[in-house]
Chains A and B, each alone.
Chain A
Amino acid sequence: MAKTDILIAGVGGQGTILTGRIIAALAMAEGLDVKTAETHGMAQRGGSVITHVRIGEKVYSPLIPQGDGDFLLSFEKLEALRWLPYLSPGGTVIVNTQELEPLPVLTGQIEYSTGILEEIESKAARLIAADALSIEPVTRNARMVNTFLLGILAQTMEFEKEKWLLTMEQTIKAKLVDINKQAFEAGWEFAREDG
């Protein structure tokens, strides 16, 4: 498998680290080298967070250099725009179109950006945008956004679907495995229909 660099962007507390762990565990099980880099500490308190996942025959740096990302998986719309410079010109953006307003927007100092999806579409090779919160089972549990987006990513990657599901069983808490699998399947189907 060729080198694959995946950026997972979001807001502290949205679960970017867990998503990175699932991808990394699967890549390792498939016999590949893999490294991740995560955001812990202060930024986790509602700040902008990023997880880097790098897969290949041999991975040196845990950080994806600017302009090298193959995928940008964003749990929030504004964060997709913020991290877009890390994507390669041929890369794919997968974004949950949910808007989480940063504090300066909530307090009315500045406005949430408009035209984000249009800008991403004009600059990235491919954009898959989904309103995850409107899709079953994310409608029932908003924390399933991450595995829904993972399903979209998985559909565009080479690993077999069964391997993804097996890795999720091994990585996610037992009582949450079923709903996470449903969210993954929903994402997988969404990507197939998106083509």
Chain B
Amino acid sequence: MNDKRVIMTGNEAIALGAYEGGVTVGTAYPGTPSTEILENLARYEGVDCNWSPNEKTALEVAIGASMEGARVLAAMKHVGVNVAADPLLTLSYTGVGGGLVLVSADDPGMHSSQNEQDNRHYARFAKIPLLEPSDSEEARDYVTAALEISEKFDTPVMLRTTTRISHSRSTLVPGQRKEHEVKGFKKNPAKYVMLPGFARLRHPLVEERLLALQEEAEKSPMNRIERGSTKFGVVCSGVAYNYAREALPEASFLKLGFSHPLPEKLVREFAELVDEIIVIEELDPFFEEQLLAMHLKVPVKGKELFGLLGELGAEIIREKVLGQKIDPIRVRDEIPGRPPVMCPGCSHRGVFYTLKKLKLNVMGDIGCYTLGALPPLEAIDSCVCMGASIGLALGMAKAKPASAENTVAVIGDSTFLHSGITPLLDAVYNNAPITVLILDNSTTAMTGHQEHPGTGTTLQGEPSASVNLEGLCHALGVKRVAAIDAFDLKELRSTIKTELEAGEPSVVIIRRPCVFLLSTFDAPPAVDLEACTGCGTCIKLGCPALSMKEEKARINSTICTSCGLCEQLCRFDAIKSVLEKAGENNG
């Protein structure tokens, strides 16, 4: 083994590939499992990296940078590509200036996502090349290859990873950066102005390009046949290659790295070598359907063995292909689950406690606060996509106007800036008296505390303008805008009740920084065991620092951050601060 090896995650390797490939502009909106790509790229000299408010903007910034001649990388999670799909589908027509790579980080198994869509379809839909690395070394290599392909064929290139590529570590030998000169924009309306007349001239070029790309895929070293047994051959890509390679060491393989357009000649050559083809791919039958449509001489199977759901693994492949069932150690059936929870001191807890007490219909959104749907708070009734809370509340008011009196939309600050502004404008414009709660914790928390347009700092640590949420809502036409403290239960309750009855669109901005952003806390309160009646009210907050032992409330002082919610709830004055608080801020 080479002693210059380093070990890194797939996401770190993608950033390295972008750096080595001469990328000078990187854009993204954070989203698991893609987030660390831009965080790492931002650490290299000579690369201007920014968090965009959402993925559509991120891709548009990337397109502009590419038109100016820079090599660029835009990164997002699978559902982020939905947001960026509008520019993507026409970017396919305009093509690029400098090389443009769009990273789609998919999440089979939904470790941290609301669906498990298979974004390989986007490459086919947009008629652009698709590269699928199988480990960190390939992730780095494929980014640099993608930049070359992008410029050679005048096309954006999609690089698709999955959670097990992005968040797995494996070894590689770093290379040197190849500088890329930014030559400047050259006017070319027929290429960049997609009026119907020009677009009609671009579409045939897109189709010709696809044929040329297929020829390129046929001879690309990213696609290779590994000859083994002739009994059956495996067609696969991405991490599934490594699962299959481990499970089926004897088999022949067609490993697809440059997987769209499908190298059909290579597939036919492979089919000549084996008696049967087994397609091993996670999620949809993307290759399988294409192979079936080719009417190969040998049988093709895949999804009949593996199904359409979740992740694969070597043990699943051994069982489905070889019939080797494992006999793992069996443990008792009843093991308490350990779902993720809001942290002790989380600024969202009191909000969901209040919403539950008020028995409201709560349209939720994407972020840490989605955990408000889990017991014991169980206070969220919907979660669809970024920004959906406001549109859903608006739709309910349209369907049944009285619903606005017992419905709120709940959305985080980063999610509001991502795609909550437009539906709020919709509500104002269409006279819907909905109540929107913006949970402003001054960060993009769930993905690991990234900056956003409201934090006053950029990804690369430069101070920047911070959006004024009150001013923004006023400018949209919302007349009723209140700002309150997330830790004041009384005010939360009264303000929300007042705004529900207001009969016009209103916004309540509920503020407290994410507890992760704070480093010092007041001394935790203590339970007066004499006064505690064991009523269990405080436990309903679902705080990991609170528990019931022998019918008394207990506070775990090692994790309590003294947010004061349980003190406010206790009717028996049994939870008391140990110290006099300095001022009113006890967070």
Per the bound structure, the CA–CA distance linking A84 and B448 in Å amounts to: 29
Task: State whether the Cβ of A33 lies closer than 8 Å to any Cβ in chain B.
Answer: yes
Contact flags B1-22 to A (C-beta < 8 A → 1, else 0): 1010111010000000000000
Task: State whether the Cβ of B396 lies closer than 8 Å to any Cβ in chain A.
Answer: no
> CB within 8 A of B342: which of A34, A38, A45, A108?
A45
* Chain A residue at minimum C-beta to C-beta distance from B165: A62
Q: Inside 8 A of B314's CB, which chain A residues have their CB?
A: 60-61, 63, 65
Per the bound structure, the CA–CA distance linking A100 and B536 in Å amounts to: 20
> CB within 8 A of A62: which of B164, B335, B340?
B164
- By the criterion CB–CB under 8 Å, are B32 and A103 in contact? no
Task: State whether the Cβ of B581 lies closer than 8 Å to any Cβ in chain A.
Answer: no
Task: State whether the Cβ of B245 lies closer than 8 Å to any Cβ in chain A.
Answer: yes
| Tally of contact residues, B, Cβ under 8 A | 61
> CB within 8 A of A43: which of B5, B112, B170?
B112
Per the bound structure, the CA–CA distance linking A25 and B447 in Å amounts to: 26
* Chain A residue at minimum C-beta to C-beta distance from B542: A103
> CB within 8 A of B375: which of A39, A66, A104?
A104
CB distance from B173 to the nearest CB of A (A): 11
Per the bound structure, the CA–CA distance linking A41 and B337 in Å amounts to: 18
> CB within 8 A of B313: which of A25, A32, A65, A81?
A65
Task: State whether the Cβ of A24 lies closer than 8 Å to any Cβ in chain B.
Answer: yes
Contact flags A7-45 to B (C-beta < 8 A → 1, else 0): 000011000000011001100100111111111111111
- By the criterion CB–CB under 8 Å, are B336 and A78 in contact? yes
- By the criterion CB–CB under 8 Å, are B339 and A47 in contact? yes
Per the bound structure, the CA–CA distance linking A60 and B558 in Å amounts to: 41
Q: Inside 8 A of A25's CB, which chain B residues have their CB?
A: 7
Q: Inside 8 A of A134's CB, which chain B residues have their CB?
A: none
- By the criterion CB–CB under 8 Å, are A35 and B168 in contact? yes
Per the bound structure, the CA–CA distance linking A142 and B559 in Å amounts to: 12
A-contacting 9-mer, from B117-125, B221-229, B321-329, B461-469: B321-329
Task: State whether the Cβ of B171 lies closer than 8 Å to any Cβ in chain A.
Answer: yes
* Chain A residue at minimum C-beta to C-beta distance from B330: A85
- By the criterion CB–CB under 8 Å, are A35 and B169 in contact? yes
Task: State whether the Cβ of B476 lies closer than 8 Å to any Cβ in chain A.
Answer: no
CB distance from B377 to the nearest CB of A (A): 10
Given contact pairs A32-B1, A33-B1, A78-B335, A42 touches B32 in the complex (Cβ within 8 A): yes
Task: State whether the Cβ of B338 lies closer than 8 Å to any Cβ in chain A.
Answer: yes
Choose among B9, B327, B339, B371 the residue with the greatest number of A CB atoms under 10 Å from its CB. Answer: B339
Task: State whether the Cβ of B187 lies closer than 8 Å to any Cβ in chain A.
Answer: no
- By the criterion CB–CB under 8 Å, are B331 and A28 in contact? no
- By the criterion CB–CB under 8 Å, are A108 and B536 in contact? yes
Per the bound structure, the CA–CA distance linking A40 and B166 in Å amounts to: 10
- By the criterion CB–CB under 8 Å, are A33 and B171 in contact? yes
Task: State whether the Cβ of B483 lies closer than 8 Å to any Cβ in chain A.
Answer: no
- By the criterion CB–CB under 8 Å, are A35 and B338 in contact? no
Given contact pairs A28-B7, A47-B339, A40 touches B315 in the complex (Cβ within 8 A): no
- By the criterion CB–CB under 8 Å, are B313 and A63 in contact? yes
List 29 A–B pairs whose Cβ atoms lie within 8 Å, in order of A's numbering.
A24-B169, A36-B168, A36-B170, A39-B111, A40-B35, A41-B112, A42-B112, A42-B340, A45-B446, A60-B242, A61-B242, A61-B313, A62-B135, A62-B170, A63-B313, A65-B246, A65-B318, A66-B315, A67-B327, A78-B338, A101-B547, A103-B338, A103-B376, A103-B544, A106-B548, A107-B540, A107-B542, A110-B336, A119-B331
Show the binding face of B for A, using Cβ within 8 Å.
1, 3, 5-7, 9, 32-33, 35-36, 111-112, 135, 164, 167-171, 239, 242-243, 245-246, 313-315, 318, 326-332, 334-343, 368, 371, 375-376, 446-448, 536, 539-540, 542, 544, 546-548, 558
